[in-house]
Amino acid sequence: MNPSEQPLAALTAGIAGGAGAGIAAAAAAGVVHSTTGRTVAPLLTVAGLCKSFELERPLTARIRDWWTGNPAPRLHALSEVSFEIGHQETVGILGESGSGKSTLARVLMGLYPPDTGTAVLQGRSLFAGDRTARFENLRQMQMIFQDPFSSLDPRMSVRRILEEPLRIHGLGARAEWHDRLRRGLSEVGLDQDVLERYPSEFSGGQRQRIGICRALILDPLLLIADEAVSALDVSVQAQILELLRQLKQARGISLLFISHDIAVVRQIADRILVLYQGRIVETLPAECLLQDACHPYTRRLLGAALHLREDAALPAGQDGLTGGNAGYRDGCSCRDSCEAASKACEQMPPLSELHPGHFVACHRYATSGLGRGPAAG
Amino acid sequence: MTDMPPLLSMSGYSLTLRGSDGRPLPVLQNVDFEMQKGQCVGVAGESGSGKSVLALSIMGLLPALSIVGRSGSIRFGELDLMGLDEEAFRELRGSRMAMVFQEPMTAMNPLMTLFDQVGETVAAHRPGASRDEIQERVVRALKRAGFAEPDRFLSSFPHQLSGGMRQRAMLAMALVMDPELVIADEPTTALDAALQIQLLGELRRQVRAGGSSLLFISHDLGVIRAVSDQLVVMYAGVIVESGPTADLMAKPAHPYTAALIEALPRLIIERRLPRPIPGHLPSPDRKPAGCVFSDRCNRVREACRGELPPAVEAGPGRLVRCLFPL
């Protein structure tokens, strides 16, 4: 069954049955979802998130800046990122390396403090809270990492790896842990006898299952998967994607799925956000991606992926060299490689709504207003 | 096919390595394949299928102590690689055959500049070369690998380059001596599709232009299709199917090849998750008797569990090791 057909029905059922006090509380808040019109508060609301890093420079250059009063150059990893994740929704973040995808995950997990912006999970701010509030938030949000080899401590047995989150959060009595671990393992398709073994004894796919089990052991509401399948072989990738889909359906959790692979994101996500140089340049329902994607950057990614996946002819100009990351500046970051670039593109275009749920940051679509078909791109 | 002797040929090559606990592991079994000059050959298979060991065998990079036994032959041009000593291999590597590795961050020395990394190969193979000569070669190789302005990056360290640039630098290191054979082991796995295509295009073009041949190793058949004319599919140390890439992907004859194609994420209108292959690759010492794929194959019959099926013809230029091909 197509996972994207599920959420709404399952969601209403969940609220009616009172499953999960959190969902009920969110429903009581009764906010209308801006893109779908659902009268439910989103699980996570991120607004105006910015994060920049000071660029590493030689000491002499730093002294010169200080002497002349120039501000140190900064890398803007995220600029004005705003989005929502609904209950039981899978949001896919798509972008090339250096687009800010991983920074986003890290800021949400509290690993980097944001420069400005807010993120609210179930009515609680992720950034403003004191230690206890932050701790509680982290229990609701867990992460699956990219590299199944470096994200598991090689000197800890699987039992210790899985018990660690329970110990840190002081969840349940010690006597219950074993049952919890056993349930978790069977959920991710691993045998009970793995508990006393060590990560080195497992294949990449099995390790990723252990990583997923560790993330689920605290019963979170939101899983953040940062390139969770890109280190795996295609055959194992398919297994892990299938597992994530099943878990999502069985547990009713939400998923923020970050990846550079457009084909993978499209299969698993309900809604896709395209990130380019730290900005959201397009957001649209996953089922519309192939026909409706219109931002030049999204089209470029799609063209390349269609060539690799479906043996489609390569769009003109894509086989050659492009400048790569030109660095941050004002205005639309695509204007150098876009054949329709004009004077207007020196200003950053705002996100405007093309169709319900489909937003794009491109002047071509902003000026011509609503109703203009994406075929014009 | 042609009268020209193949650039590289392996016949009946089997390799047994010593496992970490001392047990012998049969990692390659009866590998037969040929590569002509100017050809791009793709080797597909899951991790653990033996494709990297195959590459290391050709490059002579397997640690001698870990080899328990090997048989068959590997010929490169006029040379018999099985009988070659380390000294002769060192002469060969970098100049006549070169390798592009998977992980540029670990394959490059973090303390060496781009010029030093790429120039090292030149200095090793042309002991008398002046700095100018080396620089000229390095700049040319970087240009061929897709650096628009190589001079700007000559004194950069690996951490100052983006992922795509590091991958290009690896390619330049392989191309700098105009080798006859380039072996690329998953060189684009961690990159996004747009960057992958640029690099694959570059790789293919450079290999063709320089008259060299490319052996391209990957688990992703989509990537292999974009770069190779001939395809070799490996499973558990055995070549299960081989033939022209387009033909083989359009009509796979071995159930494993078909399953590998089914596992690819698609970009067609109908949205469905890619179909996983049930079970997992057996470790080299636990291979099933008979056909190596028999314990995961959905078409398995009693006869499959007898002995390893012979390679039989399945169309022009195609071979398959299956008793009941599709």
pLDDT (tens digit, 9 = 90+) per residue, A148-158? 888 999 999 99
Contact B32, B242 (CB under 8 A): no
Q: CB contact, 8 Å: A309 with chain B?
A: yes
Who wins on pLDDT, A145 or A27?
Answer: A145
CB contact A318 to B (< 8 Å)? yes
- Is A310 near chain B, with CB under 8 Å? yes
Q: A243 CB near a chain B CB, below 8 Å?
A: no
* Range A339-366 burial, b when 16+ CB lie within 10 A, else e: eebeeebeeebebbebeeebbbbbbbbe
Closest residue by Cα to residue B46 from B263, B285, B275, B312: B263
pLDDT for B278-322, tens place per residue?
888 888 888 999 999 999 998 999 999 999 999 999 999 999 999
Residues of chain A in contact with residue B259, where contact means CB-CB under 8 angstroms, are 235
Length of chain B: 326
Alpha-carbon gap, residue A38 to A40, rounded angstroms: 6
Per-residue burial over A147-165, b if 16 or more Cβ lie within 10 Å, else e, is: bbeebbeeeeebeebbbeb
Contacts of residue B277, defined as CB under 8 A and 6 or more positions apart, other chains included, come to A235, A238, A239, B256, B259, B260, B262, B263, B296
Distance, CA of B244 to CA of A258 (rounded, Å): 35
pLDDT given for residue A39 in this prediction = 54
Which chain B positions have a beta carbon within 8 Å of A308's beta carbon?
A: 193, 196-197, 220, 222-223, 225-226
Q: How confident is the model at residue A216 (pLDDT cuts 50, 70, 90)?
A: very high
Name the maximum alpha-carbon separation found in chain A: 67
Q: Quick check: A231 pLDDT over 50?
A: yes
| R_g of chain A, CA atoms, integer Å | 22
- Rounded Cα distance between A310 and B168, Å, is 25
Mean pLDDT to the nearest integer, A188-193: 89
Q: Is A238 on the interface with B (CB under 8 A)?
A: yes
Rounded (5°) CA angle A161-A165-A169: 155
Tell which residue, A361, A369, A155, A144, has the closest CA to residue A258.
A144
Task: Return the pLDDT at B192.
Answer: 72
Q: Which residue of A90, A93, A233, A242 to mutate against B (max B Cβ within 10 Å)?
A: A233
Task: Mark out chain B residues that contact chain A at CB-CB < 8 A.
Answer: 46-48, 146, 148, 162-165, 189-198, 201, 219-223, 225-226, 259-260, 263-269, 271-277, 280-281
Beta carbons of B293 and B256 less than 8 angstroms apart: yes
Does the pLDDT at position B60 exceed 50? yes
pLDDT at A93 over 50: yes
Q: Which of A204, A305, A325 sits opposite B47 (nearest CB)?
A: A204
The 8-class DSSP code of residue A269 comes to -
Alpha helices in chain B (DSSP H): 51-59, 86-92, 104-107, 114-125, 131-144, 163-175, 193-209, 221-227, 245-250, 255-262
**Residue of B247, B249, B267 to mutate, testing the A interface (most A Cβ within 10 Å of its Cβ):** B267
More confident residue, A299 or A332: A299
Strand partners, A136: none
Question: Has the ipTM of the complex gone over 0.85?
Answer: no
For residue A129, give Cα distances in angstroms to A4, A126, A135, A225. Answer: 33, 6, 9, 24
DSSP string across A134-191:
HHHHHHHEEEE-S-TTTSS-TTS-HHHHHHHHHHHHT-S-HHHHHHHHHHHHHHTT--
Tell whether the model's pLDDT for residue A38 goes beyond 70. Answer: no
* Weakest-pLDDT range from A327-341, B62-76, B200-214, B270-284: A327-341
- Radius of gyration from C-alpha coordinates of chain B: 20
- b/e map A90-121, b = 16+ CB within 10 Å: bbbbbbbbbbbbbbbbbbbbbebebbebebbb
CB-CB under 8 Å, A96 with B276: no
Distances (CA, A) of A117 to A46, A72, A75, A81, A107: 8, 22, 17, 8, 11
C-alpha distances in angstroms, A12 versus A7, A15, A18, A356? 9, 5, 10, 21
Highest mean pLDDT among A47-61, A257-271, B202-216: A257-271
Find the CB nearest A308 among B47, B226, B269: B226
Q: Which of residues 75-134 of A touch B (CB under 8 A)?
A: 95-98
In sequence order, which residues have a C-beta less than 8 Å from that of residue A306 and are 6 or more positions away?
A: A312, B267
User: What Å distances lie between residue B290 and A60, A274, B16, B83, B281, CA to CA?
Assistant: 68, 48, 18, 31, 15
Contacts with B167 (C-beta within 8 Å, 6 or more apart), sequence order: B104, B187, B188, B191, B195, B199
DSSP structural state of residue B282: P
> Does residue A243 carry a pLDDT above 70?
yes
pLDDT at residue B5 is higher than 50: yes
Mean pLDDT value of segment B54-64: 92
**Chain A nearest-CA residue for B165:** A324
What's the longest Cα–Cα distance across chain B?
67
Mean pLDDT over each residue of chain B, to the nearest integer: 89
pLDDT at B314: 92
User: Which of B148, B219, B268 is facing A233, going by the closest CB pair?
Assistant: B219
CB A204 within 8 A of CB A236: yes
Buried b (16+ CB within 10 A) or exposed e, B168-194: bbbbbbbbbbbbbbbbbbbbbbbbbbb
Share of chain B above pLDDT 90, in %: 56
Share of chain A above pLDDT 70, in %: 82
- pLDDT band for B270, please (50, 70, 90 cuts): confident
Interface test with B, best of A202, A203, A234 (most B CBs within 10 A): A234
Confidence of residue B89 (pLDDT cuts 50, 70, 90): very high
Question: Under 8 Å CB-to-CB from A166, ≥6 apart: which residues?
Answer: A172, A177, A180, A217, A218
Residues of chain A positioned with their CB less than 8 A from the CB of B276: 235-236, 238-239, 242
State residue B114's pLDDT score.
93
What's the CA gap between B239 and B29, in Å, rounded? Answer: 8
A215 closest CA partner among A144, A294, A314, A289: A144
